[in-house]
């Protein structure tokens, strides 16, 4: 292997990976790549199997389960066990994943003699006891589609890892798309054994990625069901391991793969399977190894027993800390693991996040007395405690003689700066005798950014002021540069808007902070900034883009507005309220701040009582938005609800002072407006609220500054990255993207004149698709820039987009089930739109009714076929155009309403007749769906309106397919009419 890797036997992540250029070999096609992979796995100790079909897979599974559980099944025992516990059609992906990811889960075998025996599918306690096999080209012909799978790794006979290969040079996303096709067509067939898959791996030899199986849910589509969430493996120094050969020798090494499957996966409360990334595993393992060594040599109670983890904001520190805490509790000498936060709101957020990972695994504390009870409890389910440093400090002072002070305790500090530095930290480490202290931070405190407020004149105390001097050595780092290079978080687009040049350029002059802030509070300035935000809000938050969020189709993203003080927050909220009312806008704007004097949160509160009264009024406005009943007395509940409304994208803009700028994660936030001075760790923390990955439309975190923060931004990036960080962390300027865009548009027009469509040559089709893909990607970025004026006129773009969608539909139909076209990737997500275009169509329809202009009719038809969400409504719109032509004397609104109701009834009655549905129940079901704006495609109620299924039918799979077909038709009917019927209600 030429010293490719150095690795400690106790770690999953290799210490260092050195890429060595591969010699030219013959394996360029998919078949040779597959042979190479299997040979490598055999050399690593995998058993190669020759299995042809699902039946042979089932027979092997029986043998492997017998080996693992040291048992021989009788034929009757096996048939009953297999039918009830594995091939049971009531079991879904969630049930099967719980079997594999729950430490205490066992299945019960009822033996022929009446006795019972526990059966495990995987040994999670001793992972190396599990047996690994590899199969290739296994056929699944159980359903109506015949599929053949590239390579599957069996763990005790169950396919837990599936690998899809493409020949070198092919876009890797094609392998991802193929797995999605298998999930739809065949993974659920053949007793659904492939529903047990936990990890998918995709490779074209040169590039290799992996991701968890979170997207088999028929009803609830995971946010992670996106190519953007595919992960690269890496070593402990964050060097990416992409080549298939190197990936096989690291990720797929037997012990490593089994560790990842049994230790480093989390099946959360949202029924999503999460795999820890390489840097998360490395950090967790280094903490656990540090604890073991410190225990062995009795280093506990000293800085040698600790350390800190420097992982960028947005890199999943909470998941890392959770898994670390769980693994630490499994060490028999550890009494408790305390997760320490520095604010009450983070206490709640952490508890909620931990509960999502595993309900009841950790316990938050309401007060010091409850902390005492939990910390002294011997219950196994109270070994992990979440608390604030303030409560822990009070506990230390109040209960001087607690027996816990002599126990071995692990402390994990979240965002280990600010309040951890000082007297409370000293009190805690002096009182506990056998502690192991670890800190997690995305922005460490160095001497440069500690600031004068954090240092004291007494040099003896200087050692407690930086992250390293407080917690010890950095055990693992993963900076924002690493995160953005790995595409684990998004880069930032930062724009600076000068609002009062004289004041903002006067920062270095001898002018007091209060005077400067007072000038910046000028009414005219506040009015102009508010007006600018409202005028550009839809563009900044990409309201023209639509995507699915928790079964609802939503438009675009939402935003946070960071203001300098409570006085600023109040003024902005009042101005937003005034302008929203003037514009008759339905934008939902909220505000939240601490209304008591609080040095950490609000530095410029002049009138605490007025701030309190103001917030009370704002909460009443919030209640009127959302039909709630929060009040200042229920502030914690208000905070929690605001947090959830942001995550669900129900609140459009939240005005804050300091809350929500650290520790809060929401994938739907893409924009941060800033009217406050930020620097160093505070700046990067605030910016990082916007750069969580979600989908193709969200390509960056959008930062809009109303103060001159350019120098502060560069200094922050230099401190937490390096001198070249800006070129990686920040998007390029407008000219960089626009020049590329103009060149592409010229190439598009020259090579593909609209008069030459349709394209018949496959070569031309592929080239057009690739060029138009790049147009869409660049336009998605440029749309955020204020100065972007599209050189491609809207009519031509619609025409090109129509041809693009036509090619997509045609090629999708032509695609062979056994062989997807390797070269074609469509960026359909970048052109998905919904209500905005429907509103435009409705506007044009009424215009056509009034003017009868042929060009309006033409515009309607062009817009319809150029948009994927309108194509299914094309016939309906064309029919209504004819209705207009034949009924010029009718009232337009009545004409529209009557037409839509008539068409809805006609199509529904035909659907009921064709599919033999229960008429009364079907109409009631759809009436409720239209009322709620949501079609629930699962549950007993929808089952009652479907035709009765013959239980004695020879193929039950046929019944399932028929049922799914009917539900899809009902859903298509709902989607077709929903938006038009919504207009009637308005």
Q: What is the pLDDT of residues 187-245, one digit of tens each?
A: 888 889 999 999 999 999 999 999 999 754 443 444 445 787 899 999 999 999 999 99
pLDDT: is 399 or 940 the higher one? 399
Grade residue 508 by pLDDT with cuts at 50, 70 and 90.
very low
In angstroms, how far is CA 734 from the centroid of its own chain? 28
User: Residue 935 has what pLDDT?
Assistant: 76
- Nearest Cα neighbor of 75 from 95, 59, 57 is 59
Residues whose CB is less than 8 angstroms from the CB of residue 761 and which lie 6 or more positions away in sequence, other chains included:
none
pLDDT digits (tens, 9 = 90+) for 726-736: 677 788 888 99
Position 893 pLDDT exceeds 90: no
Contact 315, 279 (CB under 8 A): yes
Highest mean pLDDT among 457-461, 537-541, 800-804: 537-541
Higher pLDDT: 524 or 730? It is: 524
pLDDT at residue 388, rounded to an integer: 83
DSSP code of residue 212: E
Ranges 714-718, 852-856, 921-925: which has the least confidence: 852-856
State pLDDT tens for residues 487-506: 888 999 999 887 765 455 44
Please state, as a whole number, how many other Cβ atoms lie within 10 Å of the Cβ of residue 392: 24
- Whole-number percent of the chain with pLDDT over 70: 81
H or E segment to which residue 101 belongs: helix 93-101
DSSP 590: E
Task: Let me know: does 54 contact 190? Beta carbons within 8 Å.
Answer: yes
Distance between CA atoms of 146 and 579, rounded to whole angstroms? 59
Gyration radius from the chain CA atoms? 30
Q: How many residues can be counted in the chain?
A: 986
Contact 765, 807 (CB under 8 A): yes
Q: Between these two residues, 426 and 769, which has the higher pLDDT value?
A: 769
Q: What DSSP letter does each residue of 505-529 carry, written as one string?
A: TTTTSS--HHHHHHHHT-HHHHHHH
Q: Which of 444-453, 836-845, 926-935 has the highest mean pLDDT?
A: 926-935
Cα-Cα-Cα-Cα dihedral of 728, 730, 735, 737, to 10°? 70
Strands 434-441 and 408-414, bridge-based pairing: parallel
**pLDDT at position 883:** 83
| pLDDT score at 497 | 87
**Could you tell me which residue, 454 or 289, shows the higher pLDDT?**
289
Residue 83: pLDDT band with limits 50, 70, 90: very high
At 412, the pLDDT band (50, 70, 90 cuts) reads very high
Which pLDDT value is given to residue 452?
43
CB 596 within 8 A of CB 695: no
Instruction: Give the E-state strand segments of 143-291 in sequence order.
Output: 147-155, 158-165, 199-203, 208-212, 233-234, 240-241, 265-267, 273-275
The answer to whether residues 750 and 808 touch, using CB atoms and an 8 Å cutoff, is no
Q: Is residue 741 scored above 70 in pLDDT? A: yes
User: CA-CA distances (angstroms) from residue 836 to 450, 555, 977?
Assistant: 48, 9, 16
Mean pLDDT within 158-169: 93
User: What is the band of 455 on the pLDDT scale with cuts at 50, 70, 90?
Assistant: very low
Instruction: Output 863 or 43, whichever has higher pLDDT.
Output: 43
Q: Is the pLDDT score of 540 beyond 60?
A: yes
> Best-predicted range by mean pLDDT among 338-347, 743-752, 755-764?
743-752
Tokens representing residue 214 in the block: 């979170």
Per-residue pLDDT band at 275 (split at 50, 70, 90): very high
**Strand ranges for 301-414 from DSSP E:** 307-311, 336-341, 363-364, 384-388, 408-414
Taking the C-alpha atoms of residue 683 and residue 705, their distance in angstroms, rounded to an integer, is 11
Do 386 and 362 touch, CB atoms closer than 8 A?
A: yes
The gap from C-alpha 210 to its chain's centroid, in whole angstroms, comes to 15
- Please report which helix (H) or strand (E) contains residue 436, including its range: strand 434-441
What is the predicted pLDDT for the residue at 819?
Answer: 41
pLDDT beyond 80 at 292: yes
Q: What pLDDT score does 838 carry?
A: 61
What DSSP letter does each residue of 828-883 carry, written as one string?
Answer: GGGG---HHHHHHHHHHHHHHHHH--HHHHHHHHHHHHT-TTTGGGHHHHHHHHHH
**In this structure, are strands 434-441 and 307-311 parallel, antiparallel, or unpaired?**
parallel
User: What pLDDT does residue 186 have?
Assistant: 85
Per-residue pLDDT at 599 exceeds 60: no
Average pLDDT, the chain: 83
What gap in Å lies between CA 975 and CA 146, rounded to an integer? Answer: 30
Chain centroid to Cα 481, Å, comes to 19
Percent helix, percent strand, percent coil in the chain, to nearest 5: 50, 15, 35
CA dist 320 and 317 (Å) reads 5
How many helices (DSSP H) and strands (DSSP E) are in the chain? 35, 29
- Distance set, CA 634 to CA 386, 482, 591 (Å): 22, 41, 15
Per-residue model confidence as pLDDT tens digits over 296-323: 999 999 999 999 999 988 888 888 998 9
More confident residue, 605 or 653: 653
Distance (Å, whole) CA 21 – CA 14: 19
Q: If pLDDT is split at 50, 70 and 90, which confidence band does 2 have? A: very low
- Better-scored residue on pLDDT, 686 or 464: 686
What is the rounded average pLDDT of the residues 386-400?
Answer: 87
In terms of phi and psi (left: phi > 0; alpha: psi -120 to 50; beta: otherwise), the region of 418 is: left
DSSP lists the bridge partners of residue 240 as: 234
Please tell me whether residue 744 adopts helix, strand or coil conformation. Answer: helix
Report the pLDDT value the prediction gives residue 221, as an integer from 0 to 100.
46
On the question of pLDDT at 7 being above 50, the answer is: no
pLDDT recorded at residue 964 = 77
At 357 the pLDDT is 65
Is residue 589 scored above 90 in pLDDT?
Answer: yes
Q: 758: cis peptide before it, omega within 30°?
A: yes
User: Is pLDDT above 50 for 984?
Assistant: no
For position 941, what pLDDT does the model report? 76
The pLDDT confidence band at residue 867, using thresholds 50, 70 and 90, is: low
SS3 label, residue 68: helix
Residues 132, 136: Cα–Cα separation, whole Å: 14
Confidence of residue 750 (pLDDT cuts 50, 70, 90): very high
What is residue 3's predicted lDDT score, i.e. its pLDDT? Answer: 41
Quick check: 356 pLDDT over 80?
no
**Taking the mean position of all CA atoms in its chain, how far away is CA 507?**
40
CB atoms within 10 A of CB 318: 19
What percent of the chain is modeled with pLDDT above 90?
41
CA distances from 522 to 43, 503, 736 (A): 73, 11, 36
Span 708-726, mean pLDDT?
A: 80
Kindly indicate the confidence band of residue 938, based on its pLDDT and cuts at 50, 70 and 90: low
pLDDT of residue 601: 37
Report the pLDDT value the prediction gives residue 960, as an integer from 0 to 100: 65
- Where do we find the tokens 């700028």? 661
**What are the start-end ranges of the H helices in 783-834?**
794-814
Between these two residues, 455 and 675, which has the higher pLDDT value? 675
From residue 44, alpha-carbon distances to 38, 243, 250 in Å are 10, 17, 11
Backbone dihedral angles phi then psi of residue 360, each to the nearest 5 degrees? 85, 0
């Amino acid at each position: 292997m030429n010293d490719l890797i150095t690795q400690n036997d106790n770690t999953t992540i290799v210490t260092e990976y050195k890429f060595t250029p591969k010699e030219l070999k013959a394996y360029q096609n998919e078949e040779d790549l597959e042979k190479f992979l299997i040979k490598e796995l055999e050399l690593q100790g995998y058993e190669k199997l020759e299995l042809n079909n699902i039946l042979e897979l089932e027979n092997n599974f029986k043998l492997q389960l017998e080996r693992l559980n040291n048992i021989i099944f009788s034929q009757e025992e096996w048939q009953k066990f297999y039918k009830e516990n594995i091939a049971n059609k009531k079991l879904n992906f969630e049930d099967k994943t719980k079997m594999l990811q729950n430490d205490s889960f066992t299945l019960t075998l009822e033996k022929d003699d009446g006795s019972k025996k526990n059966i495990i599918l995987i040994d999670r306690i001793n992972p190396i006891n599990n047996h690994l096999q590899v199969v290739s080209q296994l056929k699944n012909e159980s359903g109506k589609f015949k599929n053949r799978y590239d390579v599957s790794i069996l763990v005790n006979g169950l396919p837990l890892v599936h690998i899809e290969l493409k020949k070198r040079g092919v876009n890797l996303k094609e392998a991802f798309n193929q797995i999605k096709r298998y999930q739809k067509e065949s993974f659920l067939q053949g007793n659904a054994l492939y529903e047990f898959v936990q990890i998918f791996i995709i490779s074209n030899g040169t590039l290799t990625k992996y991701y968890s199986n979170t997207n088999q849910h028929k009803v609830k589509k995971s946010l992670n069901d996106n190519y953007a969430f595919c992960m690269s493996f890496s070593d402990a120094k964050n060097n990416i391991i992409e080549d298939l050969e190197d990936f096989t020798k690291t990720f797929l090494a037997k012990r490593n793969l089994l560790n990842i499957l049994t230790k480093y996966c989390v099946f959360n409360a949202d029924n999503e399977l999460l795999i820890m990334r390489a840097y998360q595993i490395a950090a967790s393992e280094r903490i656990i190894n540090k604890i073991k060594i410190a225990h062995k040599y009795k280093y506990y109670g000293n800085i040698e027993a600790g350390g800190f983890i420097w992982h960028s904001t947005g890199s999943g520190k909470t998941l890392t800390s959770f898994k670390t805490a769980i693994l630490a509790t499994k060490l028999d000498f550890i009494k408790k693991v305390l997760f320490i936060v520095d604010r009450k709101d983070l206490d709640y957020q952490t508890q909620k996040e931990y509960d999502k990972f595993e309900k009841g695994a950790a316990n938050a504390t309401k007060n010091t007395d409850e902390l005492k009870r939990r910390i002294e409890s011997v219950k196994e389910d109270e070994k992990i405690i979440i608390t604030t440093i303030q409560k822990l400090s009070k506990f230390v002072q109040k209960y001087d003689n607690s027996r816990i002070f002599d126990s071995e305790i692990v402390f994990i500090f979240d965002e280990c700066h600010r309040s951890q530095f000082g007297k409370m930290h000293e009190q805690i480490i002096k009182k506990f005798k056998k502690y192991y202290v670890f800190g997690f931070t995305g922005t460490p405190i160095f001497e440069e950014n500690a600031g004068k407020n954090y240092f004291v004149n007494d040099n003896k105390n200087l050692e407690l002021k930086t992250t390293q001097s407080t917690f010890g050595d950095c055990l693992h780092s993963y900076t924002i540069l690493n995160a953005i290079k790995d595409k684990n978080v998004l880069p930032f687009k930062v724009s600076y808007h000068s609002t009062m040049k004289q004041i903002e350029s006067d920062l270095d002059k001898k002018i007091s902070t209060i005077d400067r802030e007072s000038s910046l509070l000028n009414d005219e300035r506040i009015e102009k900034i508010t007006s600018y935000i409202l005028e550009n809000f839809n563009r900044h938050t990409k309201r023209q883009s639509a995507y699915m969020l928790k079964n609802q189709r939503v438009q675009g993203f939402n935003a946070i507005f960071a203001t300098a003080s409570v006085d600023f927050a109040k003024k902005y909220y009042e101005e937003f309220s005034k302008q929203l009312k003037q514009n008759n806008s339905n934008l939902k704007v909220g505000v939240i701040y601490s209304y008591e004097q609080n040095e950490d949160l609000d530095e410029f509160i002049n009138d605490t009582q007025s701030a309190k009264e103001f917030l009370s009024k704002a909460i009443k406005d919030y209640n009127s938005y959302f039909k709630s009943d929060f009040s200042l007395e229920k502030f914690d509940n208000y905070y929690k609800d605001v947090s959830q409304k942001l995550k669900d994208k129900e609140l459009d803009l939240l005005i804050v002072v300091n809350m929500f700028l650290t520790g809060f994660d929401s994938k739907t936030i893409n924009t941060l407006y800033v009217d406050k001075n930020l620097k160093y760790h505070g700046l990067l923390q605030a910016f990082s609220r916007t750069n969580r990955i979600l989908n193709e439309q969200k390509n960056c975190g959008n930062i809009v500054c109303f103060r001159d923060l350019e120098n502060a931004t560069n200094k922050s990036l230099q401190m937490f990255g390096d001198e070249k960080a800006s070129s990686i962390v920040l998007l390029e300027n407008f000219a960089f993207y626009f020049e590329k865009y103009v060149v592409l548009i010229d190439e598009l027009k020259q090579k593909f004149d609209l008069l030459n469509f349709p394209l018949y040559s496959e070569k031309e089709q592929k080239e057009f698709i690739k060029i138009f893909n790049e147009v869409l990607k660049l336009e998605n970025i440029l749309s955020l820039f204020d100065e972007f004026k599209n050189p491609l006129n809207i009519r031509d773009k619609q025409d090109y987009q129509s041809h693009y969608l036509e090619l997509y539909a045609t090629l999708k139909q032509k695609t062979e089930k056994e062989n997807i076209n390797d070269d074609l990737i469509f960026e359909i997500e970048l052109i998905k739109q919904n209500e905005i275009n429907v509103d435009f169509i409705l506007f044009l329809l009424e215009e056509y009714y009034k003017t009868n202009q042929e060009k309006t009719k033409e515009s309607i038809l062009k817009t319809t076929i150029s948009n994927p969400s309108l194509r299914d409504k094309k016939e309906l719109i064309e029919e209504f155009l004819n209705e207009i032509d034949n009924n010029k004397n009718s009232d337009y609104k009545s004409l529209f309403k009557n037409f839509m109701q008539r068409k809805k009834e006609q199509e529904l009655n035909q659907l009921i007749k064709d599919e033999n549905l229960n008429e009364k129940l079907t109409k009631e079901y759809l009436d409720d769906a239209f009322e709620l704006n949501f079609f629930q495609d699962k549950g007993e109620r929808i089952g009652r309106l479907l035709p009765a299924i013959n239980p004695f039918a020879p193929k039950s799979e046929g019944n399932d397919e028929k049922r799914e077909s009917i539900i899809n038709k009902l859903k298509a009917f709902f989607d077709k009419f929903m938006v038009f019927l919504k207009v009637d209600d308005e």
